[in-house]
Amino acid sequence: MNIDIEEIVRIAVDAGREILKIYNDGEEDIQSWQKADKSPLTAADMAAHNLIMERLLKAYPAIPVISEESASLPYEERKNYEYCWMVDPLDGTKEFINRNGDFTVNIALIEKNKPVAGVIFVPVTGASYYAVEGKGAYSLKGNYREKLKAPPFYMDEKGLKIVGSRSHMNDETHKYLSQFKDAQLVAKGSSLKFMMIAEGEAHLYPRIAPTMEWDTAAAQAILEESGGHVIDFEFSKPLVYNKENLLNPHFVALGNHIRND
């Protein structure tokens, strides 16, 4: 499937502009509602969702869209998809509500359970990240385009930079971190945790807490093209997508990890 990745970047950027209209509207508190899964929802989530759905379906009418804010599609229908989009219109809604800037727009193309293209846009900074399988991963900041290449590292190195969630740290994560020597923990929100690894600003990101497929698909596509990996804790296999249950297993995102064996 040939897609115009620059067009997907433009869609993400325009969705980000819709988000910023609400982020910068001057209201002291951002209004939110609680969804059935207890996660927050804002008008910005829905504005971005509506724009992305309209633009993707217009540009690629044959490719169905799975979005965090869509009605749940039955697996009997989804399981036959050769391709689909996996979209998080506003990844990091809690960060958005807290106005700390750590939120993104995520759009991924899935081919037979694997993310083969991804776009992440950061509305507050204007930075874009994108990748297509076999064509490398890139960041675009202003007019500066840079190829992303996660630097090599060993797991037993001292002082590894480990990125963690601002909102979802727990005892299991702290226990996992205790195995590393003089690790430096860096807090970050949304899919920006993956991008820190792809840019060489961190080495790994353990996630021992719930995430959904739309939270990770675009980031996995970009990180893998930069030389990194996203693997589940139990089987050490890459995460797969468009499963019957769209909940991810616990996982670790790694940069260019060199094995000692």
Nearest alpha carbon to residue 135 among 145, 120, 148: 148
Q: What is the pLDDT of residue 261?
A: 59
Domains of the chain, by residue range, sit at: 5-147, 152-257
More confident residue, 73 or 6: 6
Nearest alpha carbon to residue 62 among 5, 2, 136, 9: 2
Q: What is the pLDDT of residue 228?
A: 96
Q: What is the mean pLDDT of residues 225-245?
A: 94
What confidence category does residue 159 fall into, taking pLDDT thresholds of 50, 70 and 90?
Answer: very high
Q: Is the pLDDT of residue 255 over 90?
A: yes
Please state, rounded to an integer, the average pLDDT across all residues of the chain: 93
Query: Which 8-state DSSP code applies to residue 245?
Result: S
In a 13 Å sphere around the CA of 183, the CA atoms on its Cβ side amount to 22
What are 146's strand-pairing partners? Answer: 139
**In 225-234, which positions are buried (b, 16+ CB within 10 angstroms) versus exposed (e)?**
bbbbbbbbee
Homologous superfamily assigned to 5-147:
Fructose-1,6-Bisphosphatase, subunit A, domain 1 (3.30.540.10)
Q: Is the pLDDT of residue 117 over 70?
A: yes
Q: What are the residues whose beta carbons fall under 8 Å from the beta carbon of 145, sequence distance 6 or more? A: 138, 139
Q: What is the pLDDT of residue 26?
A: 67
Q: How far apart are the first and last CA of the chain?
A: 37
**Tokens of residue 51, six digits:** 């724009």
CATH number for the 152-257 domain, one of 3.40.50.2300, 1.10.3720.10, 3.40.50.300, 3.40.190.80?
A: 3.40.190.80
Q: What is the pLDDT of residue 28?
A: 63
